[in-house]
Amino acid sequence: MTELEHDQEWRRLDLRMLLVHPVNEVVRFLPFLIGLFVLGSGGQDGGPWHYLGVAVPVAIGVVRFASTRFRITGAQIELRRGVLGREIRTARLDRVRTVELTASPIHRVLRLEKVKIGTGSTEDGTLELDSLGTVEAARLRRELLDRAGAVHPAEGGSADAEVLVRFDPGWARFAPLTTSGLVVAVAALGAATGPFLGSNLELRLADASVVEQVRNVALPAVVVLGGITLLLIASTLGIVGYLLANWNFTLTRDVAQRTFHVHRGALTTRSTSIDLDRLRGVEIHEPLGLRVAGGGRLTAIATGFARRSDENTAPLVPAAPLAVVRAVAGAVIGEEPGSPGTFHQHGPQARRRRYLRAVLPALLAPVALGLAAAAGDWPWTLAGAAVLVPVAAAALARDRYARLGHALTSSHVLVRWGSLRGRTDVLQRSGIIGWNLRQTYFQRRAGLVSLTATTAAGQQAYEILDVREDVAVGFAAAAVPGLVEQFVR
What is the spatial distance between Cα 274 and Cα 272, in angstroms, rounded to a whole number? 7
Mean pLDDT over 335-359 rounds to 87
Q: Nearest CA to 298 among 307, 289, 285, 310?
A: 285
What is the spatial distance between Cα 15 and Cα 66, in angstroms, rounded to a whole number? 10
Per-residue model confidence as pLDDT tens digits over 12-33 = 888 888 777 777 766 676 666 6
Instruction: Say yes or no to pLDDT of 265 above 60.
Output: yes
Mean pLDDT over 183-201 rounds to 51
Which of 302 and 370 is assigned the larger pLDDT?
302
What is the spatial distance between Cα 285 and Cα 332, in angstroms, rounded to a whole number? 16
Q: Nearest CA to 271 among 150, 428, 161?
A: 161
CB 284 within 8 A of CB 426: yes
Mean pLDDT over 305-326 rounds to 76
Q: Say whether domain 3-150 belongs to CATH 2.30.29.
A: yes
Sequence-separated (6 or more) residues with CB below 8 Å from residue 252: 154, 155, 156, 158, 161, 162, 163, 164, 260, 261, 263
Position 105 confidence tier, pLDDT thresholds 50, 70, 90: confident
φ/ψ (deg, to 5) at 447: 75, 30
Per-residue confidence (pLDDT) for residue 474, from 0 to 100: 92
Alpha helix positions (H), 7-75: 21-28, 30-40, 49-66
φ/ψ (deg, to 5) at 99: -135, 115
pTM: 0.79
What is the spatial distance between Cα 36 and Cα 33, in angstroms, rounded to a whole number? 5
Q: What is the mean pLDDT of the chain?
A: 79
